Amino acid sequence: MANYRAASRYAKSILELSLEKGRLEEVHADFQKLSEIAEVNHEFGVILKNPIINSEKKLAILKALFEKGADKLTMTFFEIIARKSRESILLDVAREFEIQYNLHSSIQVAYLTTTFPIDEKLRGEFLKVVKEISGLETVQLEEKVDPEIIGGFVLRVNDRLLDDSLSSKLRDLKTQFAKNHYEKQF
C-alpha cells in the first residue's frame, strides 16, 4: 500500500511538471519505453528492486538505456528517484503514470480476451461497446488471445467485467449441478 501511494504521488508530480513544461508526450513516451523494457527483460525489474545494488549503479543503468532520445525532464526525474533510493518503485511509478496520463487525456483502456485474433469488424463492435460503457470517445483496446476460455470473450472496462466465455458458463453450470435441489435445505 505504501509503495502504491508513493508511486502515485511521484507519477502525479512528474505528470504535472511535464504538463507545466509542455513535455507531456515526450515524458509519456519515456515511461512507456521503461515499461516495455521491464516487460521484455524481467531481470531489469529485479535489478531495480534489489536492495543490494546501490543507487548509483541503478542510475547508471537507467542512463545507459535512456541516454539517447530520452527527455531531459525524465532523466532529471530518474536522478531524483536515485538520490532518494526509490528505484524499487520506479516500475510502479511508470504504471501509475500511464493510468494518470490516460485519465488526463480522456483515454479509456479496455482489456479483451478471446480465443482467436479478432478482425476489424469485430474490433469495431467491441470499441462501440466500450464507448457506450465509459462515455469516452478515445478507446485503447488491449487484446489477448487465450484458448483456456474455450469460446466467447471476456471484456474488462475499469471495474466492469463482461464475461461471455464458455469456460465461465461451464463453471456456473458445474456450480448449479453441485447443489442438490431435491434435498431439503435447513
CATH for the 2-103 domain, from 1.10.520.20, 1.10.1520.10, 1.10.10.10, 3.30.70.3270: 1.10.520.20
Give how far the C-alpha of residue 2 lies from the chain's centroid of Cα atoms, to the nearest Å: 19
Distance separating alpha carbons of residues 66 and 45, to the nearest angstrom = 15
Which tens digit of pLDDT belongs to each residue from 35-54? 999 999 999 999 999 999 99
| Stated pTM of the model | 0.78
Q: Are 175 and 163 in contact (CB under 8 A)?
A: no
Mean per-residue pLDDT over the chain, rounded: 90
The predicted-structure confidence for 83-133, as pLDDT tens digits, reads as follows 999 999 999 999 999 999 999 999 999 999 998 999 999 999 999 999 998
The domains of the chain are located at 2-103, 107-178
At residue 68, the pLDDT reads 85
Q: How far is CA 147 from CA 60, 79, 114, 142, 172, in A?
A: 42, 44, 7, 16, 19
